[in-house]
Chains A and B, each alone.
Chain A
Amino acid sequence: MNNDTMSQLKKDHIYNLMLENKRADGRKFEEYREIEIKTDIIDKAEGSASVKLGNTYLTAGIKIQPGEPFPDTPDEGVIITNIELPPMASPNFEAGPPREDAIELARVIDRGIRESKAIDLKQLCITPGEKVWIIFIDIHVLNDRGNIMDAATLATTAALLKTKIPTQRYQLNTDENENDKRLPIRNLPIATTAITLENTIILDPTDEEEEVAGAKLTIITNTNNTISAIQKSGREPLTTTQIKEITRLAREQSQKLREKLLEV
Chain B
Amino acid sequence: MATKPERFITDGIRIDGRRPEEIRPIRIEVGVLDRADGSCYIEHGLNKILAAVYGPREVHPRHMQRPTTAIVRFRYNMASFSVEERKRPGPDRRSTEVSKVSREALEPVIFRENFPKASIDVFVEVLQADAGTRTVGINAASVALADAGIPMRGLVSACAVGKVDGELVLDPMKEEDNYGEADMPLAMTQKGEITLLQMDGNLTAEELERAIEMAQKGCRTIYELQRDALIERYKKEIEKEENNKEEEEEEEENK
Q: Chain A interface (Cβ within 8 Å of chain B)?
A: 2, 4, 72, 100-101, 103-104, 106-107, 111, 114-116, 217, 222, 226-240, 243-244, 247-248, 251
With a CB–CB cut-off of 8 A, which chain B residues contact A234?
Answer: 104
A interface secondary structure, majority = mixed
Distance of A248 Cα from B209 Cα, bound (Å):
11
With a CB–CB cut-off of 8 A, which chain A residues contact B200?
Answer: 111, 114-115, 228-230
Q: Kindly report which residue of chain B lies nearest to residue A234, judged by CB atoms.
A: B104
With a CB–CB cut-off of 8 A, which chain B residues contact A229?
Answer: 198-201
B235 within 8 A of A: no
B133 to chain A, nearest CB (A): 16
B114 within 8 A of A: no
B108 within 8 A of A: yes
A158 to chain B, nearest CB (A): 22
With a CB–CB cut-off of 8 A, which chain A residues contact B195?
Answer: 232, 237-238
- Using known A-B contacts A100-B97, A227-B205, A243-B212, determine if residue A235 contacts B104 with beta carbons closer than 8 Å: yes
Q: Kindly report which residue of chain A lies nearest to residue B199, judged by CB atoms.
A: A230
Q: Would you list the 10 A-B pairs with minimal beta carbon distance, nearest first?
A: A237-B193, A230-B199, A232-B197, A100-B100, A237-B195, A111-B200, A115-B200, A103-B96, A238-B194, A237-B108
With a CB–CB cut-off of 8 A, which chain B residues contact A244?
Answer: 209
- Using known A-B contacts A4-B66, A227-B203, A240-B212, determine if residue A100 contacts B99 with beta carbons closer than 8 Å: yes
The one of B68, B93, B107, B205 in contact with A248, judged by C-beta atoms closer than 8 angstroms, is B205
With a CB–CB cut-off of 8 A, which chain B residues contact A236?
Answer: 108
B208 within 8 A of A: yes
Asked if A233 and B199 sit within 8 Å, CB to CB, the answer is no
- Using known A-B contacts A2-B67, A233-B100, determine if residue A115 contacts B202 with beta carbons closer than 8 Å: yes
B interface secondary structure, majority = mixed
A138 to chain B, nearest CB (A): 14
Asked if A227 and B204 sit within 8 Å, CB to CB, the answer is yes
Distance of A227 Cα from B200 Cα, bound (Å):
8
- Using known A-B contacts A4-B66, A103-B96, A230-B199, determine if residue A240 contacts B194 with beta carbons closer than 8 Å: yes
Asked if B68 and A4 sit within 8 Å, CB to CB, the answer is yes
| 10 sample A-B contacts, Cβ–Cβ < 8 Å, listed by A number | A103-B97, A107-B97, A111-B200, A230-B208, A232-B104, A232-B196, A235-B108, A237-B188, A239-B192, A240-B216
With a CB–CB cut-off of 8 A, which chain B residues contact A237?
Answer: 108, 188-189, 193-195
With a CB–CB cut-off of 8 A, which chain A residues contact B193?
Answer: 237-239
Asked if B197 and A230 sit within 8 Å, CB to CB, the answer is yes
B1 within 8 A of A: yes
Asked if A230 and B192 sit within 8 Å, CB to CB, the answer is no
B59 within 8 A of A: no
Distance of A228 Cα from B182 Cα, bound (Å):
8
Q: Kindly report which residue of chain B lies nearest to residue A250, judged by CB atoms.
A: B205
B101 within 8 A of A: yes
With a CB–CB cut-off of 8 A, which chain A residues contact B188?
Answer: 237
Asked if B212 and A233 sit within 8 Å, CB to CB, the answer is no
Distance of A228 Cα from B183 Cα, bound (Å):
10
Distance of A107 Cα from B96 Cα, bound (Å):
10
With a CB–CB cut-off of 8 A, which chain A residues contact B199?
Answer: 227, 229-231
Asked if B208 and A4 sit within 8 Å, CB to CB, the answer is no
The one of B101, B197, B201, B212 in contact with A228, judged by C-beta atoms closer than 8 angstroms, is B201
Q: Kindly report which residue of chain B lies nearest to residue A244, judged by CB atoms.
A: B209
A126 to chain B, nearest CB (A): 24
Q: Kindly report which residue of chain A lies nearest to residue B109, judged by CB atoms.
A: A237
Asked if B108 and A240 sit within 8 Å, CB to CB, the answer is no
With a CB–CB cut-off of 8 A, which chain B residues contact A4?
Answer: 66-68
With a CB–CB cut-off of 8 A, which chain A residues contact B201?
Answer: 115, 228-229
With a CB–CB cut-off of 8 A, which chain A residues contact B67?
Answer: 2, 4
Distance of A107 Cα from B213 Cα, bound (Å):
26
Q: Kindly report which residue of chain B lies nearest to residue A104, judged by CB atoms.
A: B97
The one of A116, A232, A239 in contact with B198, judged by C-beta atoms closer than 8 angstroms, is A232
B184 within 8 A of A: yes
With a CB–CB cut-off of 8 A, which chain A residues contact B104?
Answer: 232-235
Q: Kindly report which residue of chain B lies nearest to residue A239, judged by CB atoms.
A: B193
Q: Kindly report which residue of chain A lies nearest to residue B198, judged by CB atoms.
A: A231
With a CB–CB cut-off of 8 A, which chain A residues contact B204?
Answer: 226-227
Distance of A70 Cα from B169 Cα, bound (Å):
28
With a CB–CB cut-off of 8 A, which chain B residues contact A247?
Answer: 205, 208
Q: Kindly report which residue of chain B lies nearest to residue A242, judged by CB atoms.
A: B194
With a CB–CB cut-off of 8 A, which chain B residues contact A227?
Answer: 199, 202-205, 208
B15 to chain A, nearest CB (A): 19
Point out which of A107, A228, A236, A237 has the most chain B C-beta atoms below 10 A from its C-beta. A237
Q: Kindly report which residue of chain B lies nearest to residue A237, judged by CB atoms.
A: B193
